[in-house]
Amino acid sequence: MRWFWYASPQTFFPLAGTIGRVAAVLATALALAGLYVGFFVAPTDAQQGEAYRIIFIHVPAAWMSMFLYVVMAFWAAIGLAMNTRLSAMMARALAPTGALFTFIALWTGSLWGRPTWGTWWVWDARLTSELILLFLYLGFMALQAAIDERRRADRAGAVLAIVGVVNIPIIYYSVQWWNTLHQGASVSFARAPSMAAAMFTGMLLMALAFWMYSIAVAMGRVRCLIVEEGQ
Amino acid sequence: MILEAARTLVARDLRLALRQKSDVGTALLFFVIVASLFPLGIGAEPDRLRSIAPGVIWVSALLSTLLSLRRLFEGDYADGTLEQILLGAAPLPVAVAAKTAAHWLVAGLPLVLIAPLIALQYDVAASLYGVLALSLLLGTPVLSIIGAIGAALTLGLRGGGVLLALLVLPLYVPVLVMGAGAVETAAAGLDPAGQLLLLAALLIVAAVFAPWAIATALRISSE
């Protein structure tokens, strides 16, 4: 296997187009299947009624938001260590999608919280760390946007992403600990004891659909970046 | 030789800070003013003040540190000293660690010393002053160290100050949680050793690993 054959932007450009198209088709199909299962097959929740159905968007978005930060930091680190342009472009291309999913997770969580808890926002550990994750994404994007010179922007962003990825577990656990200290709003996050199989299938399908969507969008963005840099 | 270089850098930065006392004073004054604004905004009932005091003092310390971070490399970058440090014989991580230590001595240590005064204004029990000062003593160096990464990354950028805040403040969350938490735990009559030990752990981890990140960031920024 010639692993580095596709590390060059020129050779990757057509491949990115193919991967992007395939991922887009898969994303559409999986999303349709996932939404069908979510809306028509999955039973109504005994406690939460129909409002729970937002988890088919919410939970996959939250998963992707965390996963994409790690992927982004991985490509950024590779780009910093091996000085490969394409890796830096991948990191740059993934950041807006990650931020989008973080925002969707917060937004849908808020929409779910209103009927279920009676409030748009609680300072729960997960909500708070998700909010800080959004700040980390925005900081990464703002830093890259503030630096005109591409190479410097990518390398500076890479350092920030690595520092961020080291900090995320620390932030998560400190926020969780903080939350147990301040037990103000006593909201139980315990999920229904046994999730119906259809619910889980729907969630899994939607997670795969979001994953494919991320790949499709990132590939499209990488192609734009390659053209932009005139390679 | 390495220690010599570090000592020289610390002494130089301290001397520069002493020659421009207003810079040091401004950040300290900022700390006091921010902490004084909260009672005006929230109301001055002693019970409420006592309960918000740890958080207010810690958030003020965060903001004050942030304000002084710009000075860390900006002056040296403008007059070319930074290039000499980059070219110098001393390893860059050691040099930036020395500069960060000097920054803490100038910007962090005064906060630790003046915090009991703010605590007095907030009617915090005198028995908590020790925990408050200790938490700040362990926490403010972490603020300087993490902040130095952000300062190095945003070196010479337009709008760098606001950007620096955006980059650094989310990373300050664990320090804020542990620092304010230690004081609150002590106020509740419990042993704050856990939070203080975690703060010490954060300090050790940051002090060991961050100099490399700062050095890398400086090399990137000054190419």
Our CA-based measurement puts residue B17 at a distance from the nearest CA of chain A, in whole angstroms, of 28
What is d(CA A216, CA A29) in angstroms, rounded to the nearest whole number?
Answer: 13
Give the model's confidence band at A183: pLDDT under 50 very low, under 70 low, under 90 confident, else very high: low
Q: What is residue B156's three-state secondary structure? A: coil
Q: What DSSP string runs through chain A?
A: --TTGGGSHHHHHHHHHHHHHHHHHHHHHHHHHHHHIIIIISPPBTTTBGGGGGHHHHHHHHHHHHHHHHHHHHHHHHHHHH--HHHHHHHHHHHHHHHHHHHHHHHHHHHHHHHHHSSS----HHHHHHHHHHHHHHHHHHHHHH--SHHHHHHHHHHHHHHHHHHHHHHHHHHHHHHHH---S----PPPSS--HHHHHHHHHHHHHHHHHHHHHHHHHHHHHHHHTT-
**B175 to chain A: closest CA residue:** A174
Average pLDDT, chain A: 86
ipTM, two decimals: 0.88
CB contact under 8 A, A156 and B185: no
Tokens of B71: 């000075």
The predicted-structure confidence for A77-109, as pLDDT tens digits, reads as follows 999 998 888 999 999 999 999 999 999 999 998
The predicted-structure confidence for A201-226, as pLDDT tens digits, reads as follows 888 999 999 999 999 999 999 999 99
Give the model's confidence band at A188: pLDDT under 50 very low, under 70 low, under 90 confident, else very high: very low
pTM of the model: 0.89
Which of B158, B160, B174 comes nearest A174 by C-beta? Answer: B174
CB contact under 8 A, A143 and B154: yes
What is d(CA B65, CA B171) in angstroms, rounded to the nearest whole number?
Answer: 13
Give me the sign of the Cα torsion angle A202, A205, A209, A214.
Answer: positive
What is d(CA B29, CA B60) in angstroms, rounded to the nearest whole number?
Answer: 11
B188 CB burial (10 A radius; 0-12, 13-18, 19+): exposed
Tokens of A91: 């990191």
Average pLDDT over residues A62-72: 93
CB contact under 8 A, A163 and B213: yes
Locate the domains of chain B by residue range. Answer: 2-221
pLDDT for res B133: 94
Contact in structure between A71 and A94 (CB atoms under 8 Å): yes
Report the half-sphere exposure of A192 (CA within 13 A, side-chain side): 15
Backbone angles phi, psi at A49, to 5 degrees: 70, -145
Residues of B in contact with A177 (CB under 8 A): 177, 181
**A158 to chain B: closest CA residue:** B217
Unique residue bearing structure tokens 């160290």: B145
CB contact under 8 A, B213 and A159: yes
